[in-house]
A and B are shown apart, each in its own frame.
Chain A
Amino acid sequence: MDYLNALALITNYILLPGLTYGSQLALGALGVTLIYAVLRFSNFAHGEIMSFGTMVCILFTWLGQSYGINFGFLPTALLFLPIAILFSVIYCILLERIVFYYYRTKKSDPIVFLIASIGVMFFTAGLIRFIIGPSDQSFNDGVRFLFTVRDFKNFTGLNEGFGLKTTQAITVITTIALCFLLFWFLNKTRTGKSMRAFSDNEDLALLSGIDPNKVVLLTWVIAGGLATFAGVLYGLDKVYKPFIFLQMLLPIFSAAIVGGVGNPLGAFVGGYIIALSELFVTFAYKKVLGYILPEGLGPDSMMQFLSTDYKFAVSFIILVIVLIIRPTGIFSGKTL
């Protein structure tokens, strides 16, 4: 029984939140890594594109709710996700046409792209605050829990338990489905293969008759779509607040780099590595050890490696270690 209690504790406080947060990071990192693979620059505006898509989704959700539309026990926002994706894809294409196209035809250095993307980031952040304001918005109107901690405890009779939020289930399932779809697209379809070819060797791809503009546009479409998914799922699960997307850039980039930047599988795995290690390192193991160790040996102190204040430092530390030991990342992407 004691092992079960310890397992329930870890599931409730580390595994479930970690998998959910990891999925959100993975979706964000996939977008970053795709842009890097095809366009060869780190897109700092990615966090704000997530925020932009989420904002559009919230605005349409409010509009829908005022007409009495809802989605049963699922959040209404999911109904309006396609519209939000459409808007953020259009926004991404506009960015490409107005900002990045110019530098692409000039064949500018990646650093110039990077600086331009920072400019885009600030512009988008301003636009978002202008439209929806800086304060936080909760827009999750579905059923909050599939089962709560109390339900679980009553059902199993354990001392500890875990609850499953509807949004956690939606996030993990959606992420895995999207990743399958993306990998199928990249590996099996003709367009996907042309994208990979373009990423591998631009000149050879041009010689084989691949249209670069088409590939670039497609990349922006996929990145914009993934960003909106990531933002909306994060907002549903936690809260939508324009300020947090700048904070999220660090873990997203760590995830992409740890997995191997430019490698989609790496971004996917990297998201979970960053999220779970943040939680494992800052968790207090007092109760867990109390259950696992024999009677009387349970520790009195909190058994916490790092205070939760240092949560973001964990992504930094992993990033530094990976860059020193294995600069190409776990799944050998490109070196930065």
Chain B
Amino acid sequence: MKKLFTTLLALCLLNTASFSDVKVGIILGFTGPIESLTPDMAAGAELAIEEVNKSNHFSLGKVSAVRADSTCIDSSAATAAAERLITSDKVNGIMGADCSGVTTAILQQVALANGVVMISPSATSPALSTVEDNNLFFRTAPSDARQGQVVADILKDMGLKNIAISYVNNDYGKGLAASIETNHKAAGGKVTISAPHEDDKGDYSAEVGALAQAGGDILVVAGYLNSGGKGIIQASLDAGAFDQFFLPDGMIGESLPKDIGSGLNGSIGTVPGTDSPGDKKFEEMAEAAGFKKGPFAGESYDAAALMLLAMEAAKSSDSQKYKSKIMDIANAPGEKIYPGELKKAFHLIMEGKDIDYVGATAVELIGPGESAGNYRQIEVKGGKNETVAFR
């Protein structure tokens, strides 16, 4: 009797494991300070899922996406949303979260406890490189330790020696500001002031007053484009404190030049991106699917694609089984896989061959499972963000 029961139970488990659909949780800040970026990011991830479903070569069945709101800044709301994804929606992996603070919170309080893989497309805090993750956490975005280097290089090339930094007072802002400061000083530059600002204030003239007194050739605004970062730039222009701004990845989006107007022309910035053929391909696919290839949309596509390819390689949607395959899929050796070639990738995996997922953003995972980092150098010209170089 006991044996029969265990066999039945085992059969049931086997059934659910091999025939049920795969669910991917997409947790991004659909409300909050980067809400203008997240619709495109979610569309990017869903594009990958749709492609997998259309390929009919995914051996674990149909894939469905479940969206949840990370709010970008409210850790308790984000962990509650992630908890819901895992316990009630029973997702097999999480594509997200977006901002560094909520990503850390979800990882430590929900993903680790439940043993679910997380692949973030946009959390860039250097602290996430060393966080305890049981090999469950990956990111297709590079660490800001790398962005700090790129920013310092650009500043050096443009001959901007004295910089002032205003950063949003959270994990993302602090990490990025520290990284830029270290790298800029190492390159022989000077940081006149590095001061925090809070999001969601009505008035930033006092903050800008302090920044202006310290002075500098350029103001680095390590904040968010729909919130405090925009306020700081507007107040700086109003007071005539700075004419040129450096906009790291959290500040790159079409809404910023539109809101600020001509005052932003001539400002420079960085956002993860690459000139690999995958980027062009992804742009076409996004256009065909009816959304724009905004910042981090490619990273989102790659995050979702990597997760599903790893599941296929492990022949299981169990996080504990497929987590070890993610690095193999993302890196050489193997045949290069670009966006739109997921069907081919499934074929190759089925034949037992190696693949090297390149994707939309030339993914190469290093160290604890984070992107090595390619950046576009942006310049605002005529009210538009234009890519002037790749780093």
Q: Give the interface of A toward B (CB within 8 A).
A: 9, 12-14, 17, 21, 134-135, 138, 144, 148-150, 161, 163, 165, 234, 238-239, 241, 243-244, 247-248, 278-279, 282-288, 302, 304, 307-309, 311
Interface mask (B194-206 → A, CB under 8 Å = 1, otherwise 0): 0111101111011
B202:A279 contact, CB within 8 angstroms:
no
Residues of A within 8 A of B201 (CB): 244, 247
Interface size on B, residues (CB 8 A): 29
Question: A239 to B199, alpha carbons, bound, how many Å?
Answer: 13
B202:A238 contact, CB within 8 angstroms:
yes
* Interface residue? B210 (CB, 8 A): yes
Residues of B within 8 A of A17 (CB): 203, 205-206, 209, 239
A14:B209 contact, CB within 8 angstroms:
yes
B210:A308 contact, CB within 8 angstroms:
yes
Contact sample, A vs B, 22 pairs, CB 8 Å cutoff: A9-B213, A13-B213, A17-B205, A17-B209, A21-B203, A135-B35, A138-B259, A161-B240, A163-B238, A238-B202, A239-B234, A247-B202, A279-B205, A283-B210, A284-B213, A285-B213, A286-B213, A302-B193, A302-B213, A302-B214, A308-B210, A309-B198
A241:B206 contact, CB within 8 angstroms:
no
Residues of A within 8 A of B198 (CB): 309
Interface mask (B297-321 → A, CB under 8 Å = 1, otherwise 0): 0000000000000000000000000
Residues of B within 8 A of A13 (CB): 205, 208-209, 212-213, 239
* Interface residue? B207 (CB, 8 A): yes
- Chain B proximity of A23: nearest CB distance (Å): 13
Residue on B nearest A304 in the bound complex, by CB: B210
B200:A243 contact, CB within 8 angstroms:
yes
- Chain B proximity of A251: nearest CB distance (Å): 11
- Chain B proximity of A265: nearest CB distance (Å): 25
A308:B207 contact, CB within 8 angstroms:
yes
Nearest 4 interchain pairs by C-beta: A149-B240, A244-B202, A284-B213, A13-B209
* Interface residue? B215 (CB, 8 A): yes
- Chain B proximity of A16: nearest CB distance (Å): 9
New A-B pairs, 6, CB < 8 Å, besides A134-B31, A279-B206: A161-B240, A238-B203, A286-B213, A308-B197, A309-B169, A309-B196
* Interface residue? B231 (CB, 8 A): yes
B240:A308 contact, CB within 8 angstroms:
no
Q: Do A284 and B202 contact each other (CB < 8 Å), given the known contacts A150-B240, A302-B193?
A: no
B209:A284 contact, CB within 8 angstroms:
yes
Question: A284 to B212, alpha carbons, bound, how many Å?
Answer: 9
Residues of A within 8 A of B238 (CB): 144, 163, 165
Question: A12 to B241, alpha carbons, bound, how many Å?
Answer: 10
Most central of B195, B197, B201, B214 by chain A CB within 10 Å: B201
Q: Which of the residues A12, A282, A288 comes within 8 Å of B206, measured between beta carbons? A: A282
Interface mask (B118-134 → A, CB under 8 Å = 1, otherwise 0): 00000000000000000
Residues of A within 8 A of B193 (CB): 302
A241:B202 contact, CB within 8 angstroms:
yes
Q: Which of the residues B195, B234, B239 comes within 8 Å of A308, measured between beta carbons? A: B195
Q: Do A284 and B210 contact each other (CB < 8 Å), given the known contacts A239-B202, A244-B200, A308-B195?
A: yes
Residue on B nearest A288 in the bound complex, by CB: B213
Residue on B nearest A144 in the bound complex, by CB: B238
Q: Which of the residues A163, A241, A285, A287 comes within 8 Å of B200, measured between beta carbons? A: A241
B239:A12 contact, CB within 8 angstroms:
yes
A308:B231 contact, CB within 8 angstroms:
no
Residue on A nearest B196 in the bound complex, by CB: A309
B210:A302 contact, CB within 8 angstroms:
yes
B209:A287 contact, CB within 8 angstroms:
no
Question: A80 to B31, alpha carbons, bound, how many Å?
Answer: 31
- Chain B proximity of A227: nearest CB distance (Å): 16
- Chain B proximity of A165: nearest CB distance (Å): 6
A248:B202 contact, CB within 8 angstroms:
yes
Residues of B within 8 A of A307 (CB): 195, 210
Residues of A within 8 A of B215 (CB): 287
Question: A282 to B210, alpha carbons, bound, how many Å?
Answer: 8
Residues of A within 8 A of B205 (CB): 13, 17, 21, 279
Residues of A within 8 A of B239 (CB): 12-13, 17, 149, 163
- Chain A proximity of B253: nearest CB distance (Å): 14
Q: Do A311 and B240 contact each other (CB < 8 Å), given the known contacts A243-B200, A302-B214?
A: no
B203:A284 contact, CB within 8 angstroms:
no
- Chain B proximity of A42: nearest CB distance (Å): 22
Residues of B within 8 A of A282 (CB): 206, 209-210
